[in-house]
Amino acid sequence: MSHIAYVNGRYLPQGAAHIHIEDRGYQFADGVYEVICIWNGLPVDYAPHMVRLSRSLRELSVRTPATNGALTVIAKELVQRNRITKGTLYMQVNRGVAPRAHPFPKETVPPSVIMTVKHGAGPSEAIAEQGVKVITAPDQRWGRCDIKTVGLLPNVLAKQKATEAKAFEALLLTPDNTVTEASASNAWMVTKDQTLVTHPTTQAILGGVTRATVIKLAREAGYQIEERPFTLDEARAAKEVFLTGTTTFVMPVVLIDETPVANGAPGTVALELRRLYRTFIDSLRADTAWNV
């Protein structure tokens, strides 16, 4: 049975849901989005995702399409109508529909709102227990990677390169070999003295919601965290490397290109953080999970 999608005020079978050909999201990638994990029917880290959505809209001067309360009514409705227990909720807001011209359209043009859901959340436990291979690719993105826009072509190309190499992800590298993040997840390493290192939340990376939660869980577990850039050479020499993200949870990396990380097995820190993250999502509560 087709999923029900929400598009500009209407709930429709996904195959019948359409956007206008002059929607600026389609023509200019002039839109922003969020991907939210649904776990046991409840959203993971819903409030921080909604905060980031508002921030992305503000940074691009896109009008807020509706109150968070109204967006939440739609999101809940979609999760329930599609009976999503473990899945993802996708929200996209575009600047709206207008004859194609680069400048913003008139203030009166309403933003477009699209929401869809999918069954299936997180990678399988089997993959996480084995750890994954990543490749490296040049970071070819623009200067505002902190805004979650739908302009994802460089990410798509890097992920495709990873897929062709039978790798899970692509670590993105600046010309001086700094690892910014991965194509759809944040990158971390664990140093020999057990310090967790991840790129600071500058305009060079997306400030991951999962990254922030894992920082909190790791601090509570007693780990030291350094938010600083690190190089590919440091990652190759690290005790552990791992990724975090809404669709990744915490994923140990065991191979970078053809170089094993440490002994080539998932690290204990990544596996512990993965367990802690799992405990966190298992303990979501129906009376608070949708609060914004």
75 touches 43 (CB < 8 A): yes
- 54, 191, 201, 247: which one contacts ligand PDD (CB under 6 A)? 247
Strands 240-245 and 186-190: antiparallel
- Point out the catalytic residue in the list 148, 159, 161, 216: 148
Binding to ligand PDD by CB under 6 A, coded x per residue (else -) over 140-179, reads: ---------------x------------------------
Smallest separation (angstroms) from ligand PDD to the CB of 208: 3
Can residue 208 be called a binding residue for ligand PDD (CB under 6 A)?
Answer: yes
Can residue 35 be called a binding residue for ligand PDD (CB under 6 A)?
Answer: yes
For residue 153, give both structure tokens: 């072509």
Give the range of 7-15, 59-67, 96-104, 205-213 binding ligand PDD by CB under 6 A.
205-213
Closest CA to 205 of 222, 225, 229, 224: 229
Can residue 87 be called a binding residue for ligand PDD (CB under 6 A)?
Answer: no
- 246, 273, 277, 290: which one contacts ligand PDD (CB under 6 A)? 246
Give the range of 69-77, 238-246, 254-262, 278-286 binding ligand PDD by CB under 6 A.
238-246
Q: Rounded to an integer, what distance in angstroms lies between the CA atom of residue 213 and that of residue 198?
A: 13
Strands 112-119 and 42-43: unpaired
Half-sphere exposure of 286 (CA within 13 A, CB side): 4
187 touches 250 (CB < 8 A): no
Burial (Cβ within 10 Å: 0-12, 13-18, ≥19) of residue 27: middle
Can residue 135 be called a binding residue for ligand PDD (CB under 6 A)?
Answer: no
- Position of tokens 């302009």? 151
Closest CA to 248 of 191, 182, 155: 182
**Closer residue to ligand PDD in complex, CB, 191/247:** 247
91 touches 76 (CB < 8 A): no
Reply yes or no on whether 148 is catalytic.
yes
Give the range of 57-65, 95-103, 182-190, 233-241 binding ligand PDD by CB under 6 A.
182-190
Give the range of 65-73, 158-166, 206-214, 274-282 binding ligand PDD by CB under 6 A.
206-214
What residues are annotated to the active site?
148
Using CB under 6 A, list all residues that contact ligand PDD: 35, 155, 181, 184-186, 206, 208-211, 244-247
